Structure 1
Amino acid sequence: MIIKSITLKNFRQYYGENTILFSTSNKRNVTVIHGENGSGKTALLNATTWCLYDEAISLPNPDKLINDYKFYLMSPEEETEVYVELTFQSGDFDYSMRKSVKVKKTLETEMFIHSKPTIELWMTNFEGNTEKVENYTNEINHLIPSNLKTYFFFDGERIDNLSKEGSSEDVKNAIKNIMNINILENAISHTDEVRKRFRIKRSEEGSEEIQSIYENEIELEKEYEMIEEKIANFKSEISTAEESRRATEQQLSEVEEMEELMKNKEDKESKLTDKKEKLNNLDKELRHTLSNEGYLALTTFLSAEIKNNTVDYSNKKGTSSVSKRLIDEIIKSGVCICGQEITEDSSHRQHLLDLASSLDGRKDNVINNLYEQLGMVNEKKNYMIERTRQIRSMSNEIRKEKKVLETELEQIQEELIETDIEKASNLGKKLAELNENIKKNEIDKRIQEEKLKEKKEELDKHKREKEKAEKKQSKVELNRERMEACESILDTFRQILSVREQEVKLRVQNRVSDIFDRFLRKSYKVVVSENYTLEVQNQFGKSVALSQGERQITSLAFIAAIVDIAREQEKEESNTELDDGGVYPLVMDSPFGALDSNHRERVAGNISKLVNQLIVIVSTSQWEGEVENNMYNLTGKEYKLIYNDPTKNPDEPYEYTRIEEVTTGG
């Protein structure tokens, strides 16, 4: 989607009809709009989203849309139109969207009446044919979903929210929508609904026995879904508490008297994490060893039994490697293996008979062959037993060290609570509560996960019983096959979703990190955590406290990354909707206010390279200097918001704004 123009008529600060033609050039893809505080910069941003989406504007007095000066000039009972019109392009289609209201001035001059908004969307295809789009909401949401609008039309003074505590849902939703993960989730949801409809139909066609089984299945699935929902809630609670804990720890670190104690706490927590990881690895090794080699412990009894049955050949002729059957075959052939003829009365025949009588059939030979190989088994068994002892010994030692660290951390927690510094004490209490909250939710989550396993086993058992019952009835066979097809599709979708989520998270992670490096001068890295939070870490992998400007840069890096990935995917030839991309504009209101000069230069020099269209609404102080130097040669269109100050112009006693184009050097 590329925005071509916007026209405002008597909308909020904007008096009369004002139009901006945005730059659609590939080389000069920046449009700059200059406006001082109070001139209508945020109102311009709101006008765009008000036109596109069915929602109120996010400004003071949101119900008042008409310009004050226009309202002042109106006569009682006079009616006028307030509207915003946008033209934009997406692929081979051009769009024109207009949202308007009728405003009537009542006899009481301070009162006004707004009509219900009228919205029209017109689309022109590549052949030049124009038609009205009846379902404009679906069309706009296909181009830029309403739940993503704040990423592409955003207020720079609030954009740092994405890197603040509690932002994980916003980050997660942005990733899922831009990277089309929501398509898979919707497919799973819809397929499951179809499966349930087939089950109802199948139940209606079945016998009383079948109906009873299906009713039980419905109840079991409801219970399963309720447990899943509980687990999801506990995970959400844990994620929120962990975000809050990180923020609280950062606040404590900023208290000068607590700095050393917090560093000590951080060091011990790092060591504790290391101990837990080692314990986990040793536990895995022990389980693997016992699972794959535990049977060797039983060879002790087998070895003793074989030893008791071994034949002693020390005083016998022949060798245990020769079987009685072989000797019988030699005698029968009449020729010895040495070439001598064997006759009835020959000494060779008698020698062979004596050797055969010394052997107790094949049993002795097999047992002794086993005993010869038992040495290797015993060696492997002894190694397994010794390694198991070593693992247990190391685990016991690490558990002792872990216990010491936990005790020391508890003491630090007590020091934080009992400190004389009121702020630190309150934060310490909050930290203790959060830790308890996380611990409790972790326990509750594990309990529900065990219940989920039990319920899954119950469902699997029920499914086997159901299949047996269904085979007795031919009427339900078709619906059974349909059900199985749905279940197979669901399993496939879930596997694809799992893989897709990991791929997407890694791709977003890499792109955000790359852009973050370009934007920020410090050697920090930004991580998209497992819980979809934007976490900034130092060179040691520890979370760091951020200034407002650094939070803004973190959020900008994330937004630029997902827009850049979507643009990249749109250029690629893809076979599926999952790899579909899109072109999105980036409209930024006051994006540089919280940044110092170095960061302004970094952001201004890179942001326009990551998007097809950049619209920047800035004050003079934000524009002049580093931003202008880096963006001037990329600017295709430039406008000024001309503000009428009633204190300086008594002939026009109401404030309003007009838009004027500035001639650029390009």
Structure 2
Amino acid sequence: MELVELHLENFRQFKDDTIEFSQESEKGVTVIHGSNGSGKTTLLNAFTWLFYEEVDFDTRPDRLVNEGAIAESSVGDRLTVSVRLTFEHEETEYIARRKAVYEKQSPTDFDGELVDMDLRVQYRDNGSWSERHNPKPTLDQIIPERLSSLFFFDGEDIEELAGIDNQSRIQESIQNIMGLTILERATRHSNAVAGRFEDEVEEHASEALSKLIEEKRAVEDDIEDLERKHQDVKRARDRIDQEIRDIEQKMERLDESAALQQRRAEYRDERDEIEAHVERLNEDIRDEIQEKGFVTLGMPLIEETAQKLDEMREDGVIPSELNDSYIDSLLEAERCVCGRPLEPGTEHYRQIKAMKGDTVAEGVEQSALRIIGHLNQFSEMRSSFFENVDEIIAERKGLHDEIDNLTEKIDQVSSELQDMDLTTESGESIKDLEAKRASKEEEKEERIAELAQLKQRIEDKEEQIEELQQEIDEQRDEREEALLAKRRQKAAELVEEELDQAFEDLKDRVRKLSNKKIRDTFGSIASKDLTAEITADFELKIWQRVGGERVEVDKSTGERQIASLAFIGSLVAIARQRYEADSESEYFTGGIYPLVMDSPFGALDMDHRREVSKVIPELANQVVVFATDSQWKGPVEEEMSPVVGRQYWLDFDDGDADDDHPVTRIKTERAAVGGD
């Protein structure tokens, strides 16, 4: 997709304005300059409103109609709000236009009532224009709504952009842009098919089987709700964890608190290592119990068995040898020593009779003595078990004491920080920052506890599902319809398992491909000793080489933004690469996408602005950037000017004069733009 022209009519503060986007291969960047509040965010929302009928405004989100236009109209008048975009996609020219008609309801009505909404998409075919009869699916196919946050994003809130730094967002973005959602949908479809066959089983089944299926479905619904809650809590925990790291990084940069914060980090790292050692000891205890724990439970029975055998041997119940007369007595009684019948002519009878005359190398008495000896060895094994476990527990107790000591030191650092009244440039004191950090730590612990509870509940429910499924499988129902539906349900479940495995395999392949692109992009602009990667667990990590070893580092605001941009750029590059490749992809044909970003420099220092300015033009064939004058001046302008093909300035009038209303005009030359 390549943007050509955007036209706005009565859309918020824009009355009748047009932007033509640069389409030059070497100068594919279009820059739109404007002060805060001048309409940069409105332009970003114009794209999402046109494509998806979605807007995200901080103030008056429901007011789309131009305030001046509706103020000048009479009650009952109708005004048209529209956004029209001309673009090219796969060598075809398109014009997409969404319009909304609002009717003024009263003299003080500045919002209007929506009375009509229309979306049209036209395309040029052999020199003439034709209309798509399915405009919404057409636009969603070109840039799916699930990808909108990747291609139309507000960089002014750095946390939103850096929010890509979590497992769920990274996985979701990878599978969305690479088309892997097709497999995911296929998996869900197979699950739905299995569910329909289960409906048929229930319909034709016995009352008992129907009740089991109904109960299983209720438990499955419970699991789905619990998993959704687990995901929400996990995201909340990750967000809090990032907030804690941000606060600590602030304190690391302050001379007065840097040493204390560093000391706390060292204590915490040491405690983490000890806790990992404790977990290994716990694993050792579990191994001991698994290997020898049965001895402690079975020892009374083992001792009783050994004693009984010895008594039987001493009383002569166990003979010293197997002689012919003893065998004759068994054959005559027609019953084996084990109690089994010995009928003449049977195989067992012949086997016993064949023992007559054999030389017994070791009598039964000797065998009994050997068994008694083996049973007595269990006593030694029990002693060894208790000795080993006692040693591990003693070592673990010592480590717990060290953990308690380090925790006290960490708490002491926190107390010292809470006594510091020095105020930072942002207006917060070190004491305030530490109090905020401590509060976030409490929130994090609450989320961790909540996650553990939810996980346990999910596991309990899954065990319940397995038990119910076993009962369902064991149900005997001879009705032909029910048996057929059962077989079909089983087949659908097997297909679902295969699709799910294929989905996971492809997702990991794309992760590795994206990972290479991220390393290349991040490495070209970040410090030489820093690298970025997506781990096997789909976490975006930044690593640093320290003394020949690779250690994870907390990401500063600038590094987070560079890593996030590198991630987005890697997906765009992969999509373009797959699209331009001659060979057919087995899972994704790719595409060419533009990037539209509002204020990607706002929260960065000058050094990081320069680095981000270097990478932005490389992210996509066509990039649209909104920036204030203060963000643009200096390193950003120096780095990006050579690749800028078009520039516009937003001339904003706030409408403070009597009978005047806010309005923005788009100009092709610098206007007298107000403050930032």
Q: Same fold (TM over 0.5)?
A: yes
CA distances 1:553-587 after superposition (whole Å, capped 9, x unpaired): 3443333233223333434545444x443321112
Q: 1:392 to 1:262 in 2, by over 3 A?
A: farther
8 Å Cα contact 1:84/1:99 also seen in 2: yes
The 5-angstrom pairing of residues 101-120 of structure 1 reads 101-102=100-101, 113=112, 115-116=114-115, 118-120=117-119
Q: 1:271 to 1:386 in 2, by over 3 A?
A: farther
**Displacement of 1:404:** 0.7
Q: 1:479 to 1:127 in 2, by over 3 A?
A: farther
Q: Does 1:544 align with 2:554?
A: yes
Count of residue pairs the alignment pairs up? 593
The 5-angstrom pairing of residues 119-138 of structure 1 reads 119-124=118-123, 131-138=130-137
Q: 1:603 to 1:257 in 2, by over 3 A?
A: closer
Match 1:558 to one of 563, 567, 571: 567
**Displacement of 1:77:** 7.7
Match 2:404 to one of 400, 403, 406: 406
8 Å Cα contact 2:541/2:552 also seen in 1: no
For residue 206 of structure 1, what is the aligned residue in structure 2? Answer: 205
Task: Give distance in 1, aligned partners of 2:432 and 2:654.
Answer: 49
Task: Give distance in 1, aligned partners of 2:445 and 2:80.
Answer: 59
Q: Does 1:582 align with 2:591?
A: yes
Q: Does 1:612 align with 2:621?
A: yes
CA distances 1:251-297 after superposition (whole Å, capped 9, x unpaired): 55456544333322221222232233344456657767887899999
Match 1:462 to one of 454, 465, 468: 468
Task: Give distance in 2, aligned partners of 1:195 and 1:407.
Answer: 56
8 Å Cα contact 1:188/1:490 also seen in 2: yes
Q: 1:387 to 1:638 in 2, by over 3 A?
A: farther
Which residue identity is paired with 1:462? L
For residue 100 of structure 1, what is the aligned residue in structure 2? Answer: 99
3-state SS, counterpart of residue 600 of structure 2: coil
For residue 499 of structure 2, what is the aligned residue in structure 1? Answer: 493
Query: Which of 607-616 and 158-167 deviates more?
Result: 158-167
**Displacement of 1:611:** 1.0
Q: 1:468 to 1:141 in 2, by over 3 A?
A: same
For residue 5 of structure 1, what is the aligned residue in structure 2? Answer: 5
Match 2:526 to one of 503, 506, 520: 520
Q: 1:489 to 1:388 in 2, by over 3 A?
A: farther
8 Å Cα contact 2:155/2:161 also seen in 1: no
**Displacement of 1:158:** 2.5
Which residue identity is paired with 2:554? V
Q: 1:295 to 1:15 in 2, by over 3 A?
A: closer
8 Å Cα contact 1:417/1:425 also seen in 2: no
For residue 483 of structure 1, what is the aligned residue in structure 2? Answer: 489
Match 1:641 to one of 649, 657, 673: 649
Task: Give distance in 2, aligned partners of 1:441 and 1:658.
Answer: 48
Task: Give distance in 2, aligned partners of 1:450 and 1:642.
Answer: 56
8 Å Cα contact 1:171/1:532 also seen in 2: yes
Task: Give distance in 2, aligned partners of 1:214 and 1:647.
Answer: 66
Q: 1:659 to 1:12 in 2, by over 3 A?
A: farther
**Displacement of 1:2:** 1.8
Q: Unaligned 5+ residue runs, structure 1?
A: 305-358, 372-381
Which residue identity is paired with 1:3? L
Say what the alpha-carbon RMSD is for the aligned residues: 5.1
Task: Give distance in 1, aligned partners of 2:199 and 2:75.
Answer: 63
CA distances 1:583-638 after superposition (whole Å, capped 9, x unpaired): 21112333334445544443333322231211233455555654455444434x31
Task: Give distance in 2, aligned partners of 1:224 and 1:648.
Answer: 56
Q: 1:389 to 1:510 in 2, by over 3 A?
A: farther
CA distances 1:306-363 after superposition (whole Å, capped 9, x unpaired): xxxxxxxxxxxxxxxxxxxxxxxxxxxxxxxxxxxxxxxxxxxxxxxxxxxxx96777
**Displacement of 1:532:** 6.3
Q: Does 1:174 align with 2:173?
A: yes
Report percent identity of matched pairs.
27
Task: Give distance in 2, aligned partners of 1:227 and 1:607.
Answer: 40
8 Å Cα contact 1:2/1:584 also seen in 2: yes
8 Å Cα contact 1:417/1:429 also seen in 2: no
8 Å Cα contact 2:35/2:628 also seen in 1: yes
Query: Which of 148-157 and 496-505 deviates more?
Result: 496-505
**Displacement of 1:175:** 3.8
For residue 665 of structure 2, what is the aligned residue in structure 1? Answer: 657
Task: Give distance in 1, aligned partners of 2:435 and 2:605.
Answer: 35
Task: Give distance in 2, aligned partners of 1:648 and 1:445.
Answer: 52
Task: Give distance in 2, aligned partners of 1:626 and 1:425.
Answer: 35
8 Å Cα contact 1:162/1:171 also seen in 2: no
The structure number with the bigger radius of gyration is 1
3-state SS, counterpart of residue 480 of structure 2: coil
8 Å Cα contact 2:532/2:541 also seen in 1: yes
Task: Give distance in 2, aligned partners of 1:72 and 1:238.
Answer: 47
Q: 1:209 to 1:116 in 2, by over 3 A?
A: same
Q: 1:190 to 1:281 in 2, by over 3 A?
A: same
Task: Give distance in 2, aligned partners of 1:37 and 1:429.
Answer: 32
For residue 149 of structure 1, what is the aligned residue in structure 2? Answer: 148
Query: Which of 480-489 and 517-526 deviates more?
Result: 517-526
Q: 1:241 to 1:500 in 2, by over 3 A?
A: farther
Task: Give distance in 1, aligned partners of 2:600 and 2:56.
Answer: 20
Q: 1:478 to 1:576 in 2, by over 3 A?
A: farther
For residue 24 of structure 1, what is the aligned residue in structure 2? Answer: 23
8 Å Cα contact 1:92/1:125 also seen in 2: no
For residue 216 of structure 1, what is the aligned residue in structure 2? Answer: 215
Task: Give distance in 1, aligned partners of 2:3 and 2:174.
Answer: 23
Task: Give distance in 1, aligned partners of 2:63 and 2:178.
Answer: 37
Q: 1:244 to 1:165 in 2, by over 3 A?
A: farther
Task: Give distance in 1, aligned partners of 2:111 and 2:290.
Answer: 80
8 Å Cα contact 1:65/1:82 also seen in 2: yes
The 5-angstrom pairing of residues 169-318 of structure 1 reads 173-229=172-228, 231-232=230-231, 234-253=233-252, 256-281=255-280
Q: 1:237 to 1:3 in 2, by over 3 A?
A: closer
Q: Does 1:397 align with 2:403?
A: no
**Displacement of 1:105:** 7.5
**Displacement of 1:409:** 1.4
3-state SS, counterpart of residue 481 of structure 2: coil
3-state SS, counterpart of residue 668 of structure 2: strand
Q: 1:387 to 1:29 in 2, by over 3 A?
A: farther
Which residue identity is paired with 2:591? G
8 Å Cα contact 1:537/1:543 also seen in 2: yes
3-state SS, counterpart of residue 88 of structure 2: strand
Task: Give distance in 2, aligned partners of 1:512 and 1:485.
Answer: 40
Q: 1:165 to 1:406 in 2, by over 3 A?
A: farther
8 Å Cα contact 2:100/2:118 also seen in 1: no
TM-score, normalised with respect to structure 1: 0.72
8 Å Cα contact 1:163/1:535 also seen in 2: no
8 Å Cα contact 2:6/2:18 also seen in 1: yes
8 Å Cα contact 2:233/2:450 also seen in 1: yes
